[in-house]
A and B are shown apart, each in its own frame.
Chain A
Amino acid sequence: MNFSVLTSQFWSLMLSGISLGLIYVLIALGYTMVYGVLRLINFANSEIFMVGTFAVVFAETGLTGNALDSEPLKGIQLILTLGLAMLIAMAASGFTAVMVEILAYRRLRARGSNRLASLISAIGMSIALSEAASVLTHARPQSNPRLLEKTSLGEIAGANFRVDTVLVLVAAIVMFLLLDRFVNKTRVGIAIRAVSMSEENAKLMGVNLNRVISVTFLVGGIMTGAAAFLFMTVYETTKFNVGFSLGLAAFTAAVLGGIGNLRGAFWGGITLGILETMSAAVLGSQWKAVTVFVVLVLVLLVRPNGLFGEAVQQARA
């Protein structure tokens, strides 16, 4: 154990923790949006993330071709390529999320099946997607080309602001704010909030439930896809089971903040990112997953409504 790093490298660890946490936040939003409207934990969200990471590999490899061998991308060309890769990841994850809903949940809902059936269907979907990815990739890790040289932009209090770290900070916060605005200000967003408060009463307002649910999965998937892009930009490698640990951490983040609550997912993700990074520094990185589990169990035991104990329906503009 090495507690001295907590003081000697405090701000550096905080920065890593926050940027990891922000990736959790975006995935957690996928869980939380769906939970808000359906009271269902979409276990397949970790695989929706996995699909996003593979989309990044395909997109970035495809977009650059062999150009990388000659010269790294620069300026506007780099920004466009990264932006396009991010859009493709968001589209792939968003599409997968919508398909998961239609294939795994919609029929069960129409038949009035109970929640347990949906939960089992969710787990089934999660396994099916990750196994399919395993077969297609021969269970081998896949890497994306490094488009963004990880140069340092400067140091503040010992924390090194690398270009990719800053990209994560900015992109994740922008995505979060866009979602918050969407849910609170747009017509469909208000319908999502209405459904999360009462499905029946939302229908009485003329809300098309299936459409709102599709939009919710789409938006949650898009957030998860953005997370996949940022993850690949920082870590540069993925595998069919990448969603397992990331998904578990993001789910923990969502529960920590109070599942169903957007702002809860935000603070839950950042808190977990920091806790995980600090504990890895003190105890060694093999303890990362343990930290996540311990946090999950503690929250479920002590504060099952999460730290913020407020559901999405109370989210105010």
Chain B
Amino acid sequence: MRLEIKDLHVFYGKIEAIKGISVVVNPGEIVTLIGANGAGKTTTLKTISGLRPVASGSITFDGQDISKMPAHDRVALGISQAPEGRGIFPGMSVLENLEIGKYFRKDRKHEMKEDLEKVYHLFPRLKERAFQAGGTLSGGEQQMLAIGRALMARPKVLLLDEPSMGLAPMMIANIFKIITEINTELGTTILLVEQNAQQALQRAHRAYVLETGHVVKEAKASDLLNDPDVRAAYLGTGAGAH
């Protein structure tokens, strides 16, 4: 269940967005990918999920090269994503949104109830709102729904793209707490993309810093919290700020 990205290059037309990055996510880890807007974080996650084609390099999962695998097969393999902007289906109810998270499983009826309970246990709010249209939820609730929906697929690796974006501080704390819970209680491996570097580094085991399509740093998350360059660039409390 090790996810390994080697020398990955990704383009939008002629523009190279990812310029040869290598990232490893080991089983059981929370790994975070931090970086400024436009660094290539979302593109990296989209490519792992199969929404963008790999120009060169490789993505392997559990030793299997998945670089050319269609997106829907990667979900079945155990890679789920809660995308940037949440990607809720607005006209579907909360329950339908959760159910479709299990779409690829043909025998899903058996597991459905059990997994719904699991998600409702993590996010009791979703149970209260089960029959409300997804589009009418608040930003925080939509984020819960996006994460819950991804969990319905029983992923081995969960990709989270800026789960804290646009949320109130209380809600941010809550979401990060649950991310840790998912990792420790469900044993789900997590690749977390964030601009909120402070929180991400506190929650993650290891971290990569992305700048304009390159990995410029790779270290234990706790070390990066104390790294002067990182503090200056991403935590707003570096040497220059004193």
Contacts and interface: CB of A to CB of B under 8 A. Distances in A.
Interface stretch (B33-41, B70-78, B190-198): B70-78
Interface stretch (A58-66, A68-76, A113-121, A188-196): A188-196
Contacts of A197: 89-92
Contacts of B81: 204
Contacts of B46: 200
A49 B115 CA distance: 45
B100 A194 contact: yes
Given A193-B91, A197-B91, A203 B104 contact: no
Interface residues of A, number: 20
Nearest to B135: A314
A261 to B, nearest CB: 11
Contacts of B150: 204
Contact size class for B?
A: 20 to 34
Contact of A313 (B50, B90, B153): B90
Interface string A202-232: 0111111100000000000000000000000
Given A191-B100, A314-B91, A208 B83 contact: no
A201 B87 contact: yes
A282 B136 CA distance: 47
Given A200-B83, A206-B103, A206-B104, A194 B72 contact: no
Contacts of A193: 89, 91-92
A316 to B, nearest CB: 7
Contacts of A245: none
A244 to B, nearest CB: 34
Nearest to A314: B91
A173 to B, nearest CB: 24
B140 interface: no
B89 A201 contact: yes
Interface of chain A, main secondary structure = helix
B51 interface: yes
A187 interface: yes
Contacts of B91: 193, 197, 313-316
A9 interface: no
Contact of B101 (A187, A205, A209): A205
A198 interface: yes
A16 to B, nearest CB: 35
B50 A203 contact: yes
Contacts of A190: 92, 96, 99-100, 103
Interface in B21-60: 46, 49-51
Given A194-B89, A197-B91, A205 B100 contact: yes
A203 B71 contact: yes
20 contacts: A190-B100, A191-B100, A193-B92, A194-B89, A194-B100, A194-B103, A197-B89, A200-B46, A200-B51, A201-B83, A203-B49, A203-B71, A204-B83, A205-B100, A205-B104, A206-B76, A206-B103, A206-B104, A206-B153, A313-B91
